[in-house]
Structure 1
Amino acid sequence: MPVQCAHCLILFFSLVNVLEALLIGLNSPWINQVIVYVKLTMGGPLHVNGHQAIYRESIKTINKPVIPERLYDAAAILQTVKEDIGGYNKDSSIVALPPTGLLPSRRFPWDSTKHIYALSGYHSLHSVQNIYQTLLKLSGDEPLSGHALHSLVVLWEDSLCTADMTPRSVADNLLFNNTAVAEAGQMRDSPYQEKRKEQRV
């Protein structure tokens, strides 16, 4: 009798394992393709997500999204954004330099021969950080999308890779004075300005 119970238990758990495997398998893409194939061969209309399909899929149909699902791995990107962009110290862009050949700026408090400047490339990093902080405020309780985070990382990396070390004045009265900026030789040149002029002609 005990041997028969043991055999019954083994048979019972074997059936449970087979059923579990079938249930897990029903969620696999391969099984879904087989189900679609069976429905098509039976001749009935195919319904996808509650709507009748306009076309018929075959067993050879491959479901390949235009943008890979894991292109924007939000968790990995979020960690990068929090550490690099969120943790950026904006004071690292500030330098004290003699103002010779530069726009005048605010005086450096500990050395009267120097003025305070923000390096342009680092100012760009601070701007990306500012955009990130604003997006966080605007999103409220909703997490930022993977695409938005990815876009911030792209801007961050572009700012790092094309960093402009031009010292920028932090004097408010000079920042938007194009005449003073031009006289100091600190006009920003775009490599595409001449190209745009050529295209207009």
Structure 2
Amino acid sequence: MLRTVLKVGLTGGIGSGKSEVSRRLSDRGAVVIDADKIAREVVEPGTEGLARVVQVFGDEVLRADGTLDRERLGSIVFSDSERLAALNAIVHPLVGARVAELQERADEDAIVVYDVPLLVENKLAPMYDVVVVVDAADEVRLARLTGARGMPEQDARARIAAQAGREERLAAADVVIRNEGTLEDLDARVDELWTELSARR
């Protein structure tokens, strides 16, 4: 039978509020496939992914309990494009395989939202029927990262700089959700988005 799944690529820079949008879409009935969550799963203790990460980056990226120290690994890769590329070469194929498994399980008329932080950087836009970009000014994102998340400003700036710029991200968008206001404002925008996505099914 012909599958009529609507494939939605959801992305946004770190601190933009993409995860808030993802949660709200899930609440409205979307099947959400979270690439970040899967990326954590594929490097859990005992996985092939973690073994390969340790082989490349050394035992220093492990915590005492044998789990991946994501903060330590992040501090290594986000300021070094070659090291970041090496990490992506390990994790991305494993994530891709898991995503393929999950999308095959979705109902034939589902709205499947792929929560993909690096959609633009990895030039994945053509894979989706609709690309939604959650957008906020860099200063707003920096304030969120250093405030609510407690990230050191230097690390926050490095992570923002390691991702695509706003103009590049917006150029890939079919729909832009501006998220610089309240959560109530965001709810209203997600309601509008859900209505639009439902109409495309």
What TM-score, normalized to structure 2?
A: 0.21
Higher relative contact order, structure no. (Cα contacts within 8 Å, ≥ 6 residues apart): 2
Select the structure of larger CA radius of gyration: 1
